[in-house]
Chain A
C-alpha cells in the first residue's frame, strides 16, 4: 500500500517556534527541520514523550497553526468536491453535546455545498463504518467513552479526507476498549484505504498499528529514528519481532534521556 511513487503529503524543513519572553531568544523552538513524505494509503505513527511537540506537528499539518518556516505540499487524491483534505481525531472525542450523534458526524460536511439529504446519507454511512448506525439519534452523553471516540472517528471519515490525523485518540480510554478500538481502526483502514498520521506516546500501540514508526525527541524536537514495519496484519500483540522493535525504540528513547538529549 505504501509503494506509491508520488507522495500524497510532502513536509519539507518544517520549523515551529512559540513566543516565549523568558527564553534566551525570546521564543521556544518546538520543532526543527522536520521532513516527512507520506504515500497514499500509508499508516504512519509518530511517537515521543508527552509535550515533545507531536500534537503541535499535527496542528501545523492540519493548518490550525502556521509554521515559522518550511512547506507542506499536498497532492489531492482525486475529486475534491464534497470532501475535506484533512480530518482530525482528538484525544477527547470533542462531540458537540447539543447535537445528536448523526448531526455530530455531519459537522464537517456542512459548508461543502451538499444537500441535507446527502449530508445525512454520508453521516449514516460513516456511522455504519464504526458500527454505531443504531445510535444515530442519541445524544453524546448517552454513549460510553469508547462509543464517543468511535463517533469522533466517524466524523473524521465522513468528510472523506486525503489524510486522517489522530492525536492520541485512544489515550483516554481503558485498556480493553483501547485494544478493541485499535483493531477496529486497522479494520477501517483496510476497508477505506485512508492515509493515517497517528500520534501516540504508546510505543506498543505504534508498533502494533503502523507501517512506519517515527520517533520524535528533544527540544526542539527532531526525528531520532524511523522504522519500517513490514509484518503482515493482523499482527499478534505478542509478536516477537514487534516486541523487539518496541524494545529498541524504548532503549533509544532512554539513551536520549540519559544523554541529556531530552
Chain B
C-alpha cells in the first residue's frame, strides 16, 4: 500500500518474445488437448451414475432401465424389423416437413423483408398465428388429412416454418443499405439482381442459423406429430411406454439423439463451407 505502483512500461503486459506464456493468462481457456478428455469423462460419469441408480435399488429398473440394458433392447428391436420401419417413416416425415417448412419459411421471410407493404399487410396475421403451438394444430391436422403421414408432415412444417420465417425476415431487413446503393451504382438495379447479388448472400448467415434451429425443432415435432398414431418413432415410443417397455423408449430416445447429432454435424460442416468468407 505504501509503495507506489511501478510505472507502466511499453509492452510491460506482454511476455518477452520466445518466452513461454505463463498458464495464468489462459485461466479462462484450458489447454485444448485436455478438453476432449474432460468431455469424455463427463459422459462416463453420467453413464456410471445412471447405471448405479437402478442397480443400487434406488429406482426400480422398470422405471429407469440401466444403460447396460439398452444395447440388448436395441438389437431385439432391430431384429424384429420395427426399428427400421419406425425410423424410415419418421425420416420421411422429417425430411418433407423440414424441406417444405424451411423453403416456405425462408421464401416468405425474404419476400416480406423486401416489401414494406407486405410486412404491414401480414404483421397482424403473423402476430396471431405465430404463438399457436404446433400441437394445437393436431385436431385440424387429423380432420384435414386423417391419421396419415401428411398430417404428421403438416405439424412439422408449421414448427419449422415460423423459425425460418423470422430468421429470414430479420436477416433481410438488416441488410446494409450501403450495399444496395453499391448495387445501384454498378448497374444492378432490378429487384432480382439485388436479391441474388446482395440480399441473399448478406442474409445467408442468419438464414442458415434459422435453418439449423429448424433442424432441431423438426425432430421435436416428429415425436409430437406421431404421438397421435401416425406410424413412426413417436408412435412406437407410445406403444412401448404403454407396455412399460421403458428400455425400448430409451432406444428411440437415443436413436433420435444420434440422428440429430449426425444431421447437425453435417449441417455445420456445410454451413462452414458456405460461410467460409466470414472472418
Enumerate chain A interface residues (CB-CB to B < 8 A): 62, 64, 84, 86-88, 90, 92, 94, 96-100, 107-108, 110-112, 139, 141, 155, 159
Contacts and interface: CB of A to CB of B under 8 A. Distances in A.
A251 B56 CA distance: 93
Contact of A108 (B186, B202, B204, B277): B186
A54 B267 CA distance: 48
Nearest to B183: A107
Given A90-B178, A94-B178, A98-B201, A139 B186 contact: no
B278 A96 contact: no
B277 A94 contact: no
Contact of A98 (B181, B185, B277): B277
Interface residues of B, number: 18
Nearest to A99: B277
B150 to A, nearest CB: 38
Given A111-B187, A111-B188, A90 B182 contact: yes
16 contacts: A87-B186, A94-B182, A96-B197, A97-B279, A98-B202, A107-B182, A108-B186, A108-B187, A110-B197, A111-B187, A111-B193, A139-B279, A141-B278, A141-B279, A155-B186, A159-B186
Question: Which 6 A-B pairs give the minimum distances between C-beta atoms?
Answer: A108-B186, A141-B279, A98-B201, A88-B185, A98-B277, A94-B182
A95 B279 CA distance: 14
B63 interface: no
B185 A64 contact: yes
B179 interface: yes
Contacts of A139: 277, 279
A97 B278 contact: yes
B13 to A, nearest CB: 24
B198 interface: yes
Given A96-B197, A107-B182, A141-B279, 14 more contacts: A64-B184, A64-B185, A84-B186, A88-B185, A94-B182, A96-B179, A98-B204, A98-B277, A99-B201, A99-B277, A107-B197, A108-B187, A159-B186, A159-B187
Interface in B175-220: 178-179, 181-182, 184-188, 193, 197-198, 201-202, 204
Contacts of A64: 181, 184-185
Contacts of A112: 187
A88 B279 CA distance: 26
B201 A96 contact: yes
A34 to B, nearest CB: 20
A62 B181 CA distance: 11
Contacts of A141: 277-279
A155 B185 CA distance: 11
A62 B178 CA distance: 15
A90 B177 CA distance: 13
Contacts of B278: 97, 141
Nearest to A112: B187
Given A97-B278, A99-B277, A139-B277, A107 B186 contact: yes
Nearest to B276: A139
Contacts of B198: 96
Contacts of A92: 178
A155 B186 CA distance: 9
A94 B181 CA distance: 10
Given A96-B179, A96-B198, A62 B277 contact: no
Contacts of B181: 64
Contacts of A97: 277-279
Interface in B88-127: none
